[in-house]
Each structure stands twice: as C-alpha cells, then as structure tokens.
Structure 1
Amino acid sequence: MNRRAFLRKPAATIAAPATAVMAPPASGNEPTDGETISRYANTRLPTEPRSTAGIGPYTGPWGQTQAAHLLRRCLFGPTRAEINTAASQTLAQVINGLLTAPVAPAPPVNVSATDTSVPQGQTWVTQAFEQAFEGARRSSLRAWWMGLLLGQSTSLVEKMTLFWHNHFVIELGDINDARYGYHYCTLLRQHALGNIKQLTENVTVAPAMLRYLNGNQSTANAPNENYGRELLELFTVGKGPLIGPGNYTTYTEADVQAAAKVLTGWRDNTTTIAGYYTASRHNTTTKQFSAAFQNATIANLGDQEYKALLNLIFAQQETAEFLCRKLYRWFVYYVIDATTETEVIQPLAQLLIASNYNVEPVLRALLSSEHFYDAVNMGCVIKSPLDFTVGTCRQLQMTFPPASNLVAQYGMWDYLNTITNVQQQLLGDPPNVAGWPAYWQTPQYYEMWINAVTLPRRNQLTDLFISTNGYTRNGANIKINPIDLVLTLPPATAADPNLLIAELANLLLPITLTTNQLTYLNDTLLPGLPDFEWTIEWQQYLAAPTNATRRAAVESKLRSLLRTMMGLAEYHLS
C-alpha cells in the first residue's frame, strides 16, 4: 500500500481546467462562508473500503511509530519526550494516562489596564458584567484557553474539550459575556471524558447556550425553535435521509416544534451566571412526537421536562451512531465507508449505549483498536490551525513568558489566537452553530483547512518562528531555538547529520520520507559539503558554546534544515 498516494494530485484534476469551485451549499443551519475550494480538492468521497480492520484490540508492534500516531491525534503536537515516554510504556498504560483528567485549571486573570474591576493578576470571572470591560475579558479568556493547549498534560481532556466546543457550539462574540463563556468552557472541560447525556443536560440550560440559541426568549405562547432544532440536527440524532420538506427519518418538523415547547420557560441570570426556570413562561400542553420517536408524548413536567426530552432522544439508536461518527472523524479520518460503518461505527455505538453514554469506553476501544493503527489511518489527517500552530510551538520546544510576567504571557497566548484566526480557526468562535466546516462539509472535510489564504499564513508563521528575530511583544520574545532543540537529542544522533535528520523527521512528520527527500534535506543542512563537516562543526560548537562564530555556523544550518522541513507537505499532516 502506498501511504503517500493521497499527497499527489489526482490525474483527472491535473488535466482539468484551472477553475476553482465553490463549496457546495450546506443544508439547514450549516451555512458556508463562500470559501473557494481548490480544483484539486475532493469532488466525491471514495466508496471502496479503506480498511477492513474493526475495533478488535490492536496486537501489532508497539514503538515510536505507533506512540507518535496515537499522541498526534490525542494531543496538540506531542513532544519528543512525550512520544519516547509513551513508546516505553504499554498501549494500555498510555491509554490509561490519556483518559485521566488533570486537576481543573485556575480561572483566567485580568492582564489589561482597561478592566478596572479587579487588579491585574486577579480573576474577573465572578465580577459583574460591564460592557466596557467585555473586550479585555474575552481576550483574557481566549488567551487562557490557548495557554491550556500549550501547557497540556498527556491527557485527552484538552482535545476533547475542543471536540465538545465544536459539537455544542457557542460563539463568544455572539453571547457577549466572557463570564458566560468561562462557565461554558469549564462545563465542557469538566465533562470532556464523562457522560455525554449529562453534558447535554447541562449544556441545554447553560446560560451561554440559552443566550446563543435564544432559549432565554422562548415562552409558552412563542416557543423558540432554535435550540430544539440544533439539539436534534447537530447535537444528537442528526439528519437521516430526507423523507419530506424538513422531515428526516430521524426527526421531523413536528418534532422540532414539540421539542421547542418542552424547552420553554428557561432564562439566564446575569448575577448567578446560571440558567433558571420560570413556570409562567413554560408551555404546559402535552407534546406529541412523531413515529421517528415511536409517537411518544411528554406531559407537563415543569423544570424536569427537558430531561424527559433528552431521555427520549438518547433512547434512539441513531443518537449513538451520530455521536460515534463525529468522534471517528475527529480522531481517525473523515471517510466512513460501508465497511467502516459496519466494523467500527456500529460496534462503537452499541458500546456507547451499553455504557449509558459514558464516552470513556468508546474512546478506549477506538484508540486501542486494530482499525486505529491500520497504516492507512496514519498520517492522513490535515492539521487544523490549532494543531498546526500549537504543535509547532510544543514540538519545537519554544519557550513562552513565565507566570511571573502575566502581561507578557497572556500577550503571547493572545498573539497565537490572532495567528490561528487568520488560518480560519479561532478558539471560542466557530463560524456558525454547525462548527468548523472541515469537520462536516462533505466531500472536502479536512482539505478545507488548506486554501490560498491559509497556506501562506502557515508558511509565514513557521518562517517567523525559525527566524533569528522571532516574535516580540511586551518585551518578551518567542522563537525556535534550533541548537537547544538538538541538544536534547542523544549526542551521537546530534553529531551525525543523517541520524539528526531522521530523528527530526520522526518527530515532525507522520509519513516516512523518501530517499530523495532525505538526500535533499541533507543537502539543505550541508550544501555541497560532505557529512563529516557537520560532525566537525557540531563538535567544535560543543567545545566552545559561547564562541559566536562557531554557534552561528551550526545555528544557520539548523535553521535552514528546519525551515525546509516545515515547508514540506508532510508537515501539515497528522
């Protein structure tokens, strides 16, 4: 099997006219942003089986290759030390660690002179809302979240928190209250590895969601259908085949209307930062659901009625299947062919139901499965902007300002948010309620991360970080220090140009490079020079590390090597 085949342009498109196509119009509440799609992007999904492996336990070899694959999908840019540690453990031990939640982080703090509600260095999350401070608080929240990604432990919590953010979408800019946003982030992180049904219950009456999807405006005489529709279409059962205008095999328009009535009466309290129930605003009629829900009815249950609705929804087989498909596309690949549906999705859905919608057994089974470690599923995911940006910082061991300088620290985290934003992924603000299109827009999916806007931005970022100047803000500087990186390698590896290139390639690239590529990288490190020249120069530097000339000699070569490696197509893959 040629694992590099998908890096090449399809022959049919090479001969095609050089015209771009627009993303296909989405349905329901899944608007596109009009992004122009490359003529080389998918025009249809393959139907032939990619893998015949199922969710049976993986029993093949376990080493750096498999450990790196697992951690690339579960963390934002695993470091060399994290990969080596995982490779030295058993698969079960690594999975146990990934499924262990770290201690909850301290809340974000104020670093702005604009927000006078609290001194710098103290948290604003319990202060009264003030529009004049909202911009500073929202920036603080986003920066804090970015800092958690950079400082993540070897746990799935951060990757799953982002998964749930892309699933139960809210937009910080729309809800216009950073305190609500912090409450929402805390809720997702708390339940990241827990019970999906419980998380859905909590999200349903969370103040951020009540405001974002207008649940706080829903009354007995005027039920608002926004949350009821998205609850069915995007959060639980999903769309089945269309059987009529607005009607699907999984739910109908009548079900949306009935759900909206169930959800009436809930409002958000800006003082307690919580959702609360008002009986006088609740629709007390008996709600009738369609045959998709076995013609069930829900009578008036007051503030417990929404839980009865969720019981009904989570009793549907389609809910488990829909959730497992989303998890699969997040961790494995976007193509779910008939074989994958039968051998992976359906067994995972049954496991999810059997575990009463606890996500941990499903994640354990998927990430320990023979399917996950099938070679076809390695190195096939295009990194999201967050994976690309945070992964660059973590894998190349960039040093950020310490907590003793909070203004500089938050400033750098804020800068990274501006960087991922221009790459079309901003923490806290997916483009719409459906989440980032790369996770749902068929048939392009991940290919949408790479376009004429984002690819140059990625290259500009890596060029800046590998430059001698790096990026400076608030008196602090961040950049890649290639010598410091190489000094962490075994001495024999660092002194041998070919071993050095191979070690860096194993860290940064998920696909084995060809002989020609390795030769090209060697020529980049040692243009026109024999291999022993690197050994001599490196040893001379080690003998006199404060000698500016000797340091510059090796540093310039390493910068050229890393710049070239980060410019490879493989660097954009996970």
Structure 2
Amino acid sequence: MVTIAKTLVSEKRSLMAHLMRRAGFGATQKELDELENQAYDDVVDSILNPGDSNHLPEFFIRRFHTEVHEQRVGPWAAKEWLYRMVTTETPILEKIALFWHGIFATGYAKTNQARALSVQIDMFRKFGLGKFDDLLEEISKDPAMIIWLDNQDNHNNAINENFGREILELFSMGIGNYTEDDVKECSRAFTGWTLKNAEYMSVRAMKDSIWPYGRISWHYEYRKNDHDGNTKTFLGETGNFNGQDIVRIISKQEATARFVARHLYDFFVADEVPVPQWPYTPPKDENAIQTLVDSYMANNHDLKEVLRTLFKSDFFKESTYERVKCPAEYVAGCLRVSNTITKPTLLMNEAESVIAYMGQTLLNPPSVEGWHEGAEWINSGSIVERVNFSHKVWSNTNSPEVKDITNRLAFNAELDPDDAVNMCFNLMGILDPDIEESTKNAIVKHSKKKGPIIFGKASTSDRKNAEERISEILGLIASSKEYQRV
C-alpha cells in the first residue's frame, strides 16, 4: 500500500475554507485551489467588493418553478432566495441578507405578502454592506416592515409606539440605553411614514391574480399632513425631528456601535448568549467587541469596513467551528459545496421545506425577535432532519464534488479506511484538532467493514466502487456533530 500524508490541506487552505464558510456558504475544492494561491487579505477585499451578483438566472428558475414567479406565499419566495444562496458568485450578499433578516425580522405570517419580503431581501443585498445609517433608514421605509410593526397606524393624532420601540430595543441600541420618553419621541418622529394607498393595497393584495404577474408589491409613502411636526427631545437632543433625524442620532451612539458589533461577532465569529441576555451578560471576547466598535466609529458607521476589520482579525481566524450552522447555512452549504445544483431541480422543493423542518422558515421568523440561534438550533427533531438531508446530498455518487474528491484521493492505488476518513474530513475543511476521536473512530469502524478502498483506473468497476465508498464516508462526515458547526 502506498504511504501517504495524513492531510491534503495546508493551513492556508484551511483558513480560506473557514473564510468562505463564514463570508458565504462554503467553497468547492476547485474554488479553494484558486483561493490558496492568493493573499488572504486580498481575498477579503475581493469578497467585500462583490460587484454584480451572478447566479442561476431567475427566468430559468421561474420556467421550471412557476410558483416562484407568482410569489403568493412565503415558501415560494424563499425557494428563489435559496437558489441564489447556492448558485451566486457573490455569496457575501446572500450571507449579509441572511444576517439582517435575522435582526430586522419580518414575516409572511403577518404581512401576507411574499413579494414585499423579497423586495426587503433585495434591500438588504443593496444596503447591508453600506452605512448603518442608510440601512436603518431603508428598513424604516420598507413596506413589509411598516406592516410588520404597524407604522401605517402611527398617526399625528394617534401615536402607535410599536416601531418606535423596536427600532431602539431590537434594531439598534438594545435595552437599557434609552428611556420610555425616547420611545414616545421616536414614534412621533416616524408618524407619516406609511404605505402608498394602503387601504386599497391591503385589499388588492388579497385579490390579485395568479397570472401573468402574481403578487404586486407595496410602496412607501411619506404623508406630511400626518406627520407630527412639533419639537421633540430624543436621546438628549432637541429639534423638529423627522425619521431621518432619529436614524442619524441613533447611528452615532456608542451603544449602537456595540449592539451592531455583538451581532456581527455572534453571526460571523462565535455563538454568543441570546440577545435578551446581552444587558446582563458580558461578551465572550470583550477585546474583539471593542475592536469592532472602534472600527464602526472610526469609519463613519460603514459596515463593510467593520467586516473588513473582523475578517482580517486574529480572533476571526482562530474561531473555527465556534458557531452552530443555522438551517439555511446548513442546507445551502451542503448543496453549494457538493456542487449539486447547476440547474433548476425538484430537489430544491425538498431543500426549502427541510430548512423549515429544521426550525427556520425563511421569510417567516417566529417573532420580531427573530430566531434563537446557536445551540438552540439543535434538538432531537432537527438533528434527524440535518442528518437525513446531508447524507442524501453527500452520498450521491453523481455529485461533481464527490467525483472530484474521489479523484484527489485516487493518486493512491489503495487507501486504508483510517487514512481515507482523515483525508475526507480534511477535504471537507475539518482538520484534526476539530475532530473528536469518538466521531472519527465510529466512521473508521464502519468503513473498515468493507476493507481497503481500491481506486483502480477511471471508468472501471473499482473506481465506481471507490466513489461509492468515498461518498458514504462523506455522507457520514456530513452527519457528524462537527459538521453541524461552521
């Protein structure tokens, strides 16, 4: 038997794989081949300047999935988003949209308007890497958010505090950094921010035709005659404030910088305690949070620059497998890294549904708080869904990535299962220090039942058998507890 190295993965390749899992949904072996030859900082800069978002064309998807074009219900719109996560050439845009979707949580259950939610996700793609001020203003004008938090019912002569409260508590500063008077003054400033022709549109949206256009979208309108134009005092400043003024004041607060920093750390670095505990529990890494706060303040609230600081930091580079993948990351990652989706397929119907079965219905979070993440993603029901789906994807010997990994191992005429399992772990981005001995031993024990893996020449029965053996190992790895983390 040929003697081989225990790993095919350099430290740099492992770091690139880590970056692509966090800034996107993972990378194929061929993509990592290209990235390994580039400087890490250059790759970060390239990721954060994504340019046009090339992905599987929407007209192609809609010819196969006619329901996606209609966008009458949430799952149909979610399916189109999942296609983009899996096939886009600019995954950072979909990842940042997923990040903000969890914070500015808006759901179909109340809006009953899937197209409005798709428009909101488009807004996250456009503004999610820009200045926080601009993003906060856009979400305040977003029709789905206006309906979600009742700002169409916030009038000059009848204040509704729902949006005014949540923009402070859940979207920017967090509990303990504002007063009840600030909530009232904030709500007054956002009077008149409503939907255009809301009364008609609410009825029209329920009676629209399926063909040829499907759901129509809503539009924002500012009604000056419904705005409270009197003097307001907000966070210590006094003036005749409108919504834009409130956004400006909020965005420059250090409490906002810290709130944004903790969310970024929680999503891109390591699982934190749930958001409701933040006022009472210090961050996992106070120095890291302060670094991000300083970047936010020094760069005029530019989120792209804060992420640049984050991705280039030592605390990010050292944070491998310290987050539990949310269901969307898990499913999109399986499909993307396995290179399974190259054209519209009925598998995407199952993929969209299984994300919901795992506990995350895209475009329909359970409440304005979004989802409780981290370890709460894993329970006896969701883990079964994860294992079944990932094993199905990775056990497919027709997968281009399964064939690629098999070919990379085939320079050995024969492989002992110990080495095959170790190398498959490495090629899937999981290095020895991150693998529990019990996990590896269980997979090796199962694989050894069939003896050594004999590769033979391409297009032979030996090679076909080797592909089946390797795909089985990959499926078991994808079912392991290590693979649940990112």
| Pairwise TM-score range, normalised by the shorter structure | 0.7 to 0.9
Aligned partners of 1:213 and 1:226 also within 8 Å: yes
List aligned pairs for 1:287-306, cutoff 5 A.
Answer: 287-289=232-234, 293-294=235-236, 296-299=237-240, 305-306=242-243
Amino acid at match of 2:403: D
Partner of 2:372: 437
Partner of 2:3: none
Q: CA deviation at 1:392?
A: 1.5
Distance 2:413 2:325 in 1: 28
Distance 2:446 2:286 in 1: 47
Aligned partners of 1:69 and 1:510 also within 8 Å: no
SS of residue paired to 1:371: helix
Partner of 2:230: 285
Partner of 1:476: none
Closer, same or farther: CA 139–450 of 1 in aligned 2, 3 Å = closer
Closer, same or farther: CA 147–121 of 1 in aligned 2, 3 Å = same
1:503 has 2:420 as partner = no
Q: CA deviation at 1:62?
A: 5.5
Partner of 2:204: none
Closer, same or farther: CA 68–463 of 1 in aligned 2, 3 Å = closer
Structure number with higher helix proportion: 2
Partner of 1:171: 107
Distance 2:401 2:43 in 1: 29
1:367 has 2:311 as partner = yes
Corresponding pairs, count: 448
Amino acid at match of 2:107: E
Distance 1:364 1:519 in 2: 39
Q: CA deviation at 1:147?
A: 0.5
Closer, same or farther: CA 483–568 of 1 in aligned 2, 3 Å = closer
Aligned equivalent of 1:98, options 47, 63, 70:
47
Aligned equivalent of 2:322, options 370, 380, 389:
380
Q: Deviations over 1:53-78 (max 9, x none)?
A: xxxxxxxx961222222222111132
Closer, same or farther: CA 171–418 of 1 in aligned 2, 3 Å = same
Aligned equivalent of 1:460, options 367, 380, 388:
388
Aligned equivalent of 1:198, options 107, 124, 134:
134
Distance 2:270 2:42 in 1: 24
Q: CA deviation at 1:287?
A: 1.8
Q: CA deviation at 1:198?
A: 0.4
Amino acid at match of 2:386: R
Aligned partners of 2:75 and 2:352 also within 8 Å: no
List aligned pairs for 1:43-442, cutoff 5 A.
Answer: 63-104=12-53, 108=58, 135=72, 138-153=74-89, 155-240=91-176, 250-269=177-196, 270=201, 273-289=218-234, 293-294=235-236, 296-299=237-240, 305-335=242-272, 342-374=286-318, 377-400=319-342, 402=343, 408-409=344-345, 411-438=346-373
SS of residue paired to 2:21: helix
Aligned partners of 1:210 and 1:267 also within 8 Å: yes
1:539 has 2:472 as partner = no
Q: CA deviation at 1:386?
A: 1.4
Partner of 2:411: 492
Closer, same or farther: CA 507–230 of 1 in aligned 2, 3 Å = farther
Identity rate, percent: 24
SS of residue paired to 1:142: helix
Closer, same or farther: CA 215–488 of 1 in aligned 2, 3 Å = farther
Q: CA deviation at 1:509?
A: 5.0
Q: Deviations over 1:310-349 (max 9, x none)?
A: 1111221111111011101111113488686542212321
Q: Structure 1: which 5+ runs fail to align?
A: 1-60, 114-118, 125-132, 241-249, 403-407, 439-445, 471-478
Distance 1:261 1:198 in 2: 20
Distance 1:558 1:123 in 2: 36
Amino acid at match of 1:421: A
Aligned partners of 2:392 and 2:475 also within 8 Å: no
Closer, same or farther: CA 145–69 of 1 in aligned 2, 3 Å = same
Amino acid at match of 1:65: S
Distance 2:254 2:175 in 1: 13
Q: CA deviation at 1:308?
A: 0.8
Aligned partners of 1:396 and 1:485 also within 8 Å: no
Q: CA deviation at 1:99?
A: 0.5
Amino acid at match of 2:99: F
RMSD over aligned Cα, in angstroms?
3.0
Q: Deviations over 1:332-375 (max 9, x none)?
A: 1134886865422123212211211111111111111112123x
Q: CA deviation at 1:568?
A: 2.0
Q: Deviations over 1:475-506 (max 9, x none)?
A: xxxx7577524345264158534554333201
Distance 1:385 1:268 in 2: 33
Q: CA deviation at 1:169?
A: 1.6
Closer, same or farther: CA 493–366 of 1 in aligned 2, 3 Å = farther
Q: CA deviation at 1:288?
A: 2.6
Distance 1:493 1:66 in 2: 26
Aligned partners of 1:395 and 1:507 also within 8 Å: no
Amino acid at match of 1:208: A
Q: CA deviation at 1:235?
A: 0.8
Q: Deviations over 1:9-57 (max 9, x none)?
A: xxxxxxxxxxxxxxxxxxxxxxxxxxxxxxxxxxxxxxxxxxxxxxxxx
Aligned partners of 1:262 and 1:283 also within 8 Å: yes
Q: CA deviation at 1:233?
A: 0.3
Q: TM-score, normalised by structure 1?
A: 0.71
Aligned partners of 1:236 and 1:322 also within 8 Å: yes
Q: CA deviation at 1:511?
A: 4.5
